[in-house]
Amino acid sequence: MQAATTRPPSLKAIVPQSAEFDPYPVWVLGGMSAKTNVGTPTAEGGTDQVAQRDKSAVAVDGPDGARELAEAIASHAGNFDSPGQLPYRDSVSAAVGLPWWSVANPSAHLAALKRPGMGVMVTANWDEAGTRHGAFTTLRNLTPGYVKMIVGPGAHCGWNVALREAGMDIDIEQLRFFDYWLKGVKNGVMEEDPVTYFTYNAPEGRAWQTAKTWPPKSRQTDYFLAARVLSTDKPSNPGTLAAPMVAPVRISSISVTTGVGSVSYETAPLQSETQVTGDPVISLWISTAAADADVIAKLDDVAQDGTAKSYQMLGGLRASVRKLGTAPYDNRGLPWHPARQTDVAPLKAGETVELSFALLPMSYVFKAGHRIRLTLSFSDPASGAAQTVTVHEGGRSASRIRLPIVAKQP
């Protein structure tokens, strides 16, 4: 994606897999920056991963191979693997002396990416975390007729899973795409619907679906939180529920792991199968004595026997960067947080605040008789635990999650 922003005349088509469009939410998930995941640049005393990789490099054939290898390794002396811990969009990297999220941000070069002439097929997998964002936002922001998207089952770049379990051979799709853009083969690849996506638990023959754009048409349905229950009925009276702060979540670009001690809300057993396809959004009202709180909201499919499944169906936000703004690109109407250092607003003890954030895109069929579970995990980024959070329910501070429900196909 970064190479594509320079638009070299030789670049006719690209197929970015699980690639970033706006890398900030990928690496810090709503402001919850984790130094161990972002990494430490060599200049700050971290492991010299560049040198470690160079040790395995092999010289090319020919009498000059050894010399050329030595020169290449020497040229890497100033390189680094990571810009360091950068919790805000305007954080400056000590390694380069620049606001890194702007430097490394393909979306900051949107005009170049939108220029016609380059084919783009983005892909993602449902069971990966932050890197999932990129495909959906890229699709919405590039010029129609030049961009396609395929989303399959499996973890990060898990197209072996898609082939084994869902019959999708991504290599064939890439070859069709490149044949069209590089060879001019009239194979109809760009006449198909731009979006192809897999739906977990879909009826036989309907696992793979297509759409003109993302998200597909759906009914936005509010499920309110009250007394550990998720219901489309808004609570008539205000209520609260105390939740413990657990150990900090572990965040990487491909997965998110939450601690124990969270609080959950569940629907009644579903009367019919319910397909959730699109971008869930949560509006959560909380108060706490802590100065800040990291929040993870996660959806699970709970079967009749109590077993649960989830495929990174989650989202998160650090409360201190809850301020909302207008995205500089098409963000599908979802909550967007500027997350600049000047936007930081610590929590005040006992003050009730609203946290609005989107969960990762998803497509999942919850079977009849199953329950939809929403689990909230909270941690104090300063101390890690010891505090509690109060979730507010009903009244003017009615916490809820909005699910995109797709009508059952005939």
Q: Which pLDDT tens digit goes with each residue over 204-246?
A: 889 999 999 999 999 999 999 999 999 999 998 999 999 888 7
In angstroms, how far is the first alpha carbon of the chain from the final one? 40
**For the chain, what is the mean pLDDT?**
90
Q: Place 385 in a pLDDT band, splitting at 50, 70 and 90.
A: low
Nearest to 316 by CA among 393, 242, 262: 262
Instruction: Give the right CATH number for 219-406 from 2.60.120.260, 3.50.40.10, 1.10.3720.10, 3.40.50.2300.
Output: 2.60.120.260
> What does the block give as tokens for 141?
């922001």
Whether the domain at 4-22+105-211 and the domain at 219-406 fall into the same CATH topology: no
Q: 306: Cβ–Cβ under 8 A, 6 or more apart, which residues?
A: none
Give the pLDDT confidence score for residue 177 in this predicted structure: 98
CATH-assigned architecture of domain 4-22+105-211: 3-Layer(aba) Sandwich (3.40)
Average pLDDT over every residue of 55-65: 94
Sign of CA dihedral 329, 330, 331, 334: positive
Domain ranges of the chain: 4-22+105-211, 219-406
Q: What is the pLDDT of residue 39?
A: 44
Res 47 pLDDT > 80 = no
Average the pLDDT over 364-371 and give the result: 97
Q: Are strands 119-125 and 147-152 parallel, antiparallel or unpaired?
A: parallel
Identify any residues that bridge with 98 across adjacent strands, giving them in sequence order. Answer: 93
Q: What is the largest CA-CA distance in the chain?
A: 82
Q: Comparing 175-189, 197-211, 243-257, 363-377, which segment has the lowest mean pLDDT? A: 243-257
pLDDT band at 410 (very low <50, low <70, confident <90, very high): low
> Concatenated DSSP letters for 221-256?
EEEEEETTEEESSPPSS-EEEEEEB-SPPEE-SS-E
If pLDDT is split at 50, 70 and 90, which confidence band does 130 have?
confident
